[in-house]
A and B are shown apart, each in its own frame.
Chain A
Amino acid sequence: MNEKKYWSPYVSGIGLGLTLLATFYIAGRGLGASGAIALVTAQGTHAVVPDLISRLKYFEQYITPLKPLINWNLFLLGGVFLGSLAGSLLSGNFKAMLDKGATMSVRSRVFTSLAGGMLIGFASRLARGCTSGVALTGGAELAVSGWIFVISMFAAGFITVSFLRRLWS
C-alpha cells in the first residue's frame, strides 16, 4: 500500500463535510447509500418474481411509485460510483482484485463479503440508514439517531474484532 497516493484524511473529511453541507443547503436533506441498494433489490426481485415480492409490505415503498428508479438516492449513489471511479483511474489506484486479509482463503473471503454484506443490508433497514444516511447526516444534524448509531457501531466493531482478529490482519 502506497500511503502517499491518498489525500490526508482531514482533507478528505473536509471534502466530505462540505459536500454534506451543500446537500443540506441546497436540497434540505443529507446523504445516503443503503436505501438505493434496497430499492434496486426490490425492483430487481420484483421483475423476476412479482407475485412474491409484491406481498412484502416493507418493499411497497420501492415498488409502488410511478417511476421508482427516478430516485434521488439512486442518482446520488450513481454519482458516488462515478466520483470514486474518476479518483481511482486518475490516480492510478484502479486494480481488479479480490481484496482480503493476508491469511484468508478466496472461499472464506467470498463468504465474509456476502455474510457481512447481509448483516449490513439488514441492519441498515432496521436503523433507517447506514454510515451515510444515519451516522454522517444524523451526526452533523446533532440528531440523537446519528450519535447512538455511531457509538453502537464502533462498540460492536471493537468487540467483534477481539473474537475475529484474523479477518483483516
Chain B
Amino acid sequence: MTAPFEVSETVSLGLAVVFGIFFGLSLERGGLGDPHKLTGVFFLRDFTVPKVMFTAILVASIGLYLLSDVHLLDMGRIWIVPTFFWPQIVGGALFGIGFVVSGYCPGTAVTGVATGRLDALLTIVGMGLGSLLFAVLFPVMEGFYLSSDKGAATLPKVAGINHWGVIIPIVALAGGMFYLMERYEKKPR
C-alpha cells in the first residue's frame, strides 16, 4: 500500500495529537522552550536552533524522497508548501525581526508556555493580535499577498535536476556548517 493513507476524522485528529506530542517533546528536550537558546545563534553564542532545524529538515527530506524513490509513498499526494516569492521574502524578514524581539516562534512559544514562561504566553497573545491585524489590513494587501505565485515549486524542479542533486549538496553544506559551529563553540572566549 502506498502512503499517505486515508483515515477517518477521529483517527486523523488522534494522530495529530500524537505527532504534536513528539514534536513538542523534541522541541522541549532540545532546549527550544528557552528564548536565550532560541536567539543564541544571532549572537553567535549558541547554535542550537540551526543544528536542530537543519538536522530535522535533512532527516525528513532524505526519508521523504527515499520512500518516494522506492514507491512506498506517492509524492503526488504530498501537500507541497506553495511558493509566493515576494510575500515569503517579506514575511520571512518580518518573522526574523519578530523572532529576535520576542525570543520565540509560534511552535516554540507553546513549548515556552509549557516550561512555565509567562513571556511566551504574552508572545502568543501578540501573535493572535498580529493575525487579527493581518485580517484587518487584508483588503489593502490582497494584491501583494497573491503576487509572485509560483505554485508547488521545488528546488529540483526549478533547477531541472534530480532531487538527490539538491539533497546531497545541502547535506554537505550542513555538515560543514555543523563542523564550524562545534569548533566555534569549543573555542575559549
How many B residues, CB 8 Å from partner?
128
Taking a contact as CB atoms under 8 Å apart, the answer to whether B17 and A24 are in contact is no
Among A40, A126, A137, max chain B CB count under 10 A is at A126
Docked complex Cα distance between A45 and B106 (Å): 19
Taking a contact as CB atoms under 8 Å apart, the answer to whether B79 and A30 are in contact is yes
Which of chain B's residues have a CB closer than 8 A to the CB of A42?
131-132, 135
Contact residues of A: prevailing secondary structure: helix
Contact with B along A8-22 (1 / 0, CB 8 A): 011111111111111
Q: Which residue of A lies closest to B13 (CB)?
A: A75
Taking a contact as CB atoms under 8 Å apart, the answer to whether A79 and B26 are in contact is no
Contact of A134 with B88 at beta-carbon distance under 8 Å, contacts A28-B79, A122-B134 already known: yes
Chain A CB within 8 A of B172 CB: no
Contact of A152 with B89 at beta-carbon distance under 8 Å, contacts A24-B60, A28-B3, A125-B134 already known: yes
- Contact-residue bracket for chain A: 35 or more
Taking a contact as CB atoms under 8 Å apart, the answer to whether A22 and B87 are in contact is no
From the candidates B31, B64, B128, name the one contacting A6 in the complex (CB within 8 A).
Answer: B31
**Shortest beta-carbon distance from B83 to chain A in Å:** 4
Which of chain A's residues have a CB closer than 8 A to the CB of B115?
84, 88, 93-95
**Shortest beta-carbon distance from A161 to chain B in Å:** 4
Taking a contact as CB atoms under 8 Å apart, the answer to whether B129 and A17 are in contact is no
From the candidates B23, B96, B141, name the one contacting A154 in the complex (CB within 8 A).
Answer: B96
Which of chain A's residues have a CB closer than 8 A to the CB of B7?
26
**Shortest beta-carbon distance from B126 to chain A in Å:** 2
Contact with B along A55-95 (1 / 0, CB 8 A): 01111000000000010110111111111111110010111
Docked complex Cα distance between A121 and B101 (Å): 13
Taking a contact as CB atoms under 8 Å apart, the answer to whether A88 and B116 are in contact is yes
Contact with A along B114-149 (1 / 0, CB 8 A): 111111101111111111111110110110010000
Which of chain B's residues have a CB closer than 8 A to the CB of A115?
101-102, 126
Q: List 13 A-B contacts (CB under 8 A).
A: A5-B31, A13-B55, A26-B5, A37-B127, A42-B132, A78-B20, A81-B24, A84-B114, A96-B116, A115-B101, A116-B104, A133-B81, A153-B92
Residues of B within 8 A of A (CB): 3-5, 7, 9, 12-13, 15-37, 39-43, 45, 47-48, 51-61, 63-65, 67, 73, 77-85, 87-120, 122-136, 138-139, 141-142, 145, 150, 152-156, 158, 163, 166-167, 178
